[in-house]
Amino acid sequence: MIDCREATSLGIEDILARAVTLLLSIVHAFAEDRLSSVAEARDVRTSNGGFLAPYVTRALPRLGREAMRRARFQHAHWRVGYRFQDGPGVAETGRLGTGWRALADTAGRFYADPFAFHWEGRPYIFVEDYIQDAGKAVISVAQFSNDGSAQTPQVVLDELHHLSYPQVFERDGAIWMLPEASASGRLTLYRASRFPDSWRPAAVLLEGEISDATLFEHDGSMWLFATARDGFGSTSDTLVVFQATCLLGPWRPHRLNPILIDRRRARPGGACHKDAGGRILLPVQDGTLGYGGGLVIAQLLALDGETVLFGAPRAIVTDGDWPHPRIHTLNRSGPLEVIDGIALMPKPLLMKCKMASILR
């Protein structure tokens, strides 16, 4: 995964950083006499097509389009969509479909990483609430009016560091939140002291730059899927898995870590979902076109202390009435389904010029 495609030097740094990760993984596998099993478990693809032709025909035009977009619009402005859907949703059908409504926002802030949750029969949407002037995000929650429309999100958790990806769940008689806080260098679990607007730190589950940690219970164990930076390089291309016997830990790294080094399917994009047929489906981000480029669904085929195996990723078809096809989060609670997508938000200068021309 190359986070900054405009600079060749930074792109090479990302590649070399992950090459070191791969090399160390192979050395450890060789030392533990499991090199053959690692090769079988990983989808290794090579290309003999060379570098120059794909770069000229695909990469350069894409960079040109991206440069033009950034000149006119903000680099990233996410919008959250929601709908109430009976029956199979996006994870099962692989299509966005129709019925989406947008969570209202403003030019100075945006909402992303939505997680749906029900408590005492009422639906809630927890979101990353990014405030442009502050340069970081807090966690906010949107409640619903009687007509089924989402109200303006209200801040419920603010720290000195950036917060996002607020997975909220009920367990052991309490309500918990596991937000991403990679900027703090640790993964902190919070407990609701008064739901939904008061949260207190309960435990530090992991140390390190852990992104989009996704909690899942399977076969009597607790599991965490996440990405780890591993010192340098991208935060979106290295999948790691941790296991514990209870929520508060201790959490142990899986013996096969890193499970994947793959820009197409390493970083989680929502909570695990079990469909009517018993399949375990995990939304994962596809970074082929860069961060936020798309979302795919991966089926978890095997998970235990010896094995982590996913099926081939299945792209989500972005047809329907949601106008922002570059999505990177999908979640559901009961009939409430939530997504997000990058919106084209004009830069403030262009907005001012447009307003001035209208006033004239």
Beta bridge partners of 168: 177
Beta bridge partners of 130: 110, 137
Pair 337, 116: CB distance under 8 Å: yes
What H or E segment, with its residue span, contains residue 10? helix 8-31
Pair 126, 114: CB distance under 8 Å: yes
pLDDT at 53: 67
For 76-348, give the CATH class. Answer: mainly beta
Beta bridge partners of 174: 171
Please report, in tens digits, the pLDDT of each residue of the chain (360 residues total): 777 665 565 677 788 888 888 888 888 777 777 766 555 555 444 445 555 566 556 655 665 665 555 556 566 799 999 999 999 999 999 999 999 999 998 878 999 999 999 999 999 999 999 998 899 999 999 999 999 999 999 999 999 999 999 999 999 999 999 999 999 999 999 999 999 999 999 999 999 999 999 999 999 999 999 999 888 888 889 999 999 999 999 999 999 999 999 989 999 999 999 998 999 999 999 988 778 889 999 999 999 999 999 999 999 999 999 999 999 999 999 999 999 999 876 666 544 444 444 444
Pair 224, 247: CB distance under 8 Å: no
| Entry pTM | 0.86
pLDDT at 47: 47
Conformational region of residue 75, where left means phi above 0, alpha means psi within -120 to 50, and beta covers everything else: alpha
Pair 269, 285: CB distance under 8 Å: yes
User: What is the total residue count of the chain?
Assistant: 360
pLDDT at 358: 41
Pair 330, 322: CB distance under 8 Å: no
Cite the residue boundaries of each domain of the chain with CATH code 2.115.10.20. 76-348
48-95 pLDDT per residue, tens: 555 556 655 665 566 566 555 555 656 679 999 999 999 999 999 999
pLDDT at 36: 60
In this structure, how many other beta carbons lie within 10 angstroms of the beta carbon of residue 130?
Answer: 24
224-271 pLDDT per residue, tens: 999 998 888 888 899 999 999 999 999 999 999 999 999 899 999 999
